[in-house]
Amino acid sequence: MLNVSVLASVLVSALAGCAAGSGAQQSARTHLTPTQCSDLTALRNKEPLTRERNLSQLAALEAAGYNPSWGFDPYYPADLQAAQKKVDQWYATDCQQVQQPN
């Protein structure tokens, strides 16, 4: 069963993409929210795990195509690794301000 807050996060991201428009604006579209960037940075810096950070990471993986709800996934772990690679690419492009030390 999909968590309501994860679903809400994915929905907000999808609606934000729709509001951004199309054409030239679409090339500047980000895949990760500022909250996801902060949470992923915290996880990469080995800061304490929180439920919110884990849900944020899960939402990013789901946006990248990973579906954890399958009972038996014949493509595991390849599908998870592919989604993680995509999230890593998004992180490198979308989260540059968060990655830089203050």
Nearest to 37 by CA among 95, 83, 97, 86: 95
* Confidence band of 19 (pLDDT split at 50, 70, 90): very low
3-class SS of residue 20 = coil
The pTM assigned to this predicted structure is 0.67
Percent of the chain at pLDDT > 70 equals 68
Average pLDDT in the 19-35 region? 62
Quick check: 26 pLDDT over 70?
no
How large is the average pLDDT for residues 97-102? 62
Q: Spell out the domain ranges in the chain.
A: 4-99
In this model, does residue 35 exceed pLDDT 80? yes
Mean pLDDT is lowest, of 29-33, 35-39, 68-72, for 68-72
Classify residue 73 by its DSSP letter. -
State residue 10's pLDDT score.
Answer: 43
What is the band of 99 on the pLDDT scale with cuts at 50, 70, 90? low
d(CA 63, CA 81): 14
